[in-house]
Structure formats: C-alpha cells, structure tokens
Amino acid sequence: MMSLVLFETHEKKLQRCLTDARGYHQRAVQFATDGERASLVFNIAAVAIEAYLIALCARHEILPFNHDYGSLVTVAEEAVTFTPELKTAILSLDTIFGICSLENYHHGTPIQIDADRTLTICDALSQMFEPPHTADTPSLRAGQV
C-alpha cells in the first residue's frame, strides 16, 4: 500500500487528498454541531486542513517535503495566492499543533476559538476547489462540504 501512495500520480494524490479533506472537514463540522469538545473538532479539522493543502500542491504538481503548516503554505504559495488573513490563520496552527515539525514538535491544548478558526480555514480552503461562479450559474456550494 505504501508504494501505491508513494508513487501515485499528482491527479490521484489530488483526488485522494481532496476526498480525505472533505471527509475530515465534514466530520469536524458534525462534531462541532454535536457539541463535542473543542480539541476533538480542532484535531479533526487540522487533518482536513493538511489534506486540503496537500491537494492544492498536487493540483499544481508540487511536492511538499514536510507537512507542518508553514511548509505546506510556503510550497502551495508557489502556485496559489492566499489572502493575508487565511495565510496568517493557517500559520497560527503551528503554534498549537506542531507534530510534523522535526525541530519543534509539540501539541498544545486547543480551546474553542482555535476549533472555530480551523473550521473557518477549512471553509476557505474548500472554496479553493469549487468552480468559479458567474451570475448565470447557481451556487454549487450550498449543501456541499
């Protein structure tokens, strides 16, 4: 299985990561709606954010070498532009959730505002995969996650 993932095409990686991201995103929203604890919502949404960022890289045939948020944003910015607010929000996650950093491994305890921020980031990243809408096109976003 590892060799299949290691040597998959960019298109396969895009589809796999996007499917994973949407699934984790949807589950994080469900947990938030159900009133689950902030740390659970945060952790699930954080996995979705990582998968969305890897999918963005795969879409543009860029290979990230590390999966901390700073590295993923830096690599993704070779092909896409994040709003300053979105970039800052994503980078702020490394202060709580730095498990992919070799030099600064740590895992803090997220609070409600952190969980809310991850859901907002997920929404913004999800929209980067939606087709652009025109005045003649009904929104496809409603009901999709």
Q: How many domains does the chain have?
A: 1
133 in a structural domain: no
pLDDT at position 2 over 60: no
Q: Is residue 3 part of a domain?
A: no
Please indicate, yes or no, if residue 142 is contained in any of the structural domains: no
Look at residue 144 in the predicted model and tell me its pLDDT: 35
CATH of the domain at 65: 1.20.120.330
Whether 136 is covered by a domain: the verdict is: no
Whether the pLDDT of residue 141 is over 70: the answer is: no
25 contacts 145 by C-beta, under 8 angstroms: yes
Residue 14 lies in a domain: yes
pLDDT, averaged across the chain: 85
Predicted TM-score (pTM) of this structure: 0.82
User: CA 45 to CA 122: how far, in whole Å?
Assistant: 7
Domain span including residue 70: 10-128
